[in-house]
Amino acid sequence: MNNATSSSPDILCAAQASVAADGTESAVGATAGTRLDVASRRLDGERIRSRLSAACRGWGIEVVETTGSTNLDLLARLRENVACAPTVRAAMVQTAGRGQRGRAWQSQPGDSLMFSLAYVMSGGPADLAGLSLATGVAVIEGLSDLPLSAPQALGLKWPNDVLLRGGKLAGILIETVPAGPGRIGIVIGIGLNLRRADDVATRIDNAAASAASASDASGASNRSPAPTPVVPATPPAALESVFPEPDMSTVLVALVKRLTAMLDRFATQGFAAFREDWEAMHAYGGAAIRIIEHGRDVLHGVALGVDGHGCLRVATSQGERVIASGEVSVRLLDRAPGTQEAR
């Protein structure tokens, strides 16, 4: 059960006031810069709702201190009553935040921005082809609305990642539920690293090591086959490298404005309206890549872009291949002696 599903959006506003007051009174000699830094690492629900009131008219804007998962919260609500959408739900802390394939999202409060959007549109699952790519476009557009020192360093990796100078800045998770005849409910989860990329990298490494140890122990006791090889994760990146001391509320507002507009446009025009922009933002376009499934390389080639359904197009020595499954991993190909172009 999600422990904050019914929490009032005003909870965080009250918590913020308490923390700010406590910090001011107990931190003797604390500077205004220190207090500003603390504020930038929290979500200001009142300010967020005020700044989104015009652009997101008709949307529910919820900001809470803690929940299990904003995605699970909104999925549960959609199952009960689709009239709850459209809604944005953000949390300072998610105790069960997830990424692709059920992986835990590695973060610390104040260092990562995590939120979800619930939306209902006409059609079925087939009509959502390319939605994760359109979401990536909206995320980069929202970030580019901020005064970044190097917006050109942003890019997209098929199908769900936003990159910054080649490192993973943000991930996207999309889940769906039936919403009545001819309609489908969508929940889009976003996790974005704001600060301390090195700390995120350490957490990812520790999580991978723990998983490997558990797998080895299970394999030894059950005499099961050798574990699947672990695919090295794309190194993390953090927004602070191009936007010093990012204000969490400001970043959320910029992203939500673009994401809500994207959903309205996607509902009527589909991925076709976003394909050209995605191609322009494709970080691996024209590069040699490897496609990995279950820890093993299944294809080498050159990334060409995407088709009208959002599938990845790859040129190989045996012709063009189209990759439809989002369950594979894409990495740049670090050629070694004897490596073939395609197999």
CB-based contact 191:113 (threshold 8 Å)? yes
Give the pLDDT mean for 294-302.
93
Residue 202 CB coordination number (10 Å): 13
The mean predicted confidence, pLDDT, of the chain is: 83
Torsion angle defined by CA atoms of residues 3, 15, 246 and 112, in that order, rounded to the nearest 10 degrees: -20
What is the tens place of the pLDDT at every residue in 199-254?
Answer: 764 554 444 445 444 445 555 555 555 555 566 778 999 999 999 999 999 999 99
Tokens encoding 187: 């929940």
How does residue 88 score in pLDDT terms, banded at 50, 70 and 90?
very high
CATH number assigned to the domain covering 287-332: 2.30.30.100
The pair of structure tokens assigned to 242 is: 């191009």
Give the per-residue pLDDT at 51.
Answer: 98
Q: What are phi and psi of 165, to 5 degrees?
A: 50, 40
CB under 8 Å to 151, separation ≥6 — which residues? 143, 144, 242
Mean pLDDT in residue range 110-127: 96
For the domain made up of 40-208+233-281, give the CATH fold: BirA Bifunctional Protein; domain 2 (3.30.930)
Summarize pLDDT for 50-71 with one digit per residue, the tens: 999 999 999 999 999 999 999 9
Domains 40-208+233-281 and 287-332 share a fold: no
Q: Is the pLDDT of residue 25 over 80?
A: no
pLDDT above 70 (res 280)? yes
What are the sequence ranges of the domains in the chain? Answer: 40-208+233-281, 287-332
Tell me the pLDDT band of 287, cut-offs 50, 70 and 90: very high
pTM as predicted:
0.81
**pLDDT single digits (tens) 302-333:** 999 999 999 999 999 999 999 997 689 999 99
Helix, strand or coil, per DSSP, at residue 259: helix
Give the pLDDT band (50/70/90) at residue 14.
very low
Of 134, 142, 115, 97, whose CA–CA distance to 60 is shortest? 115
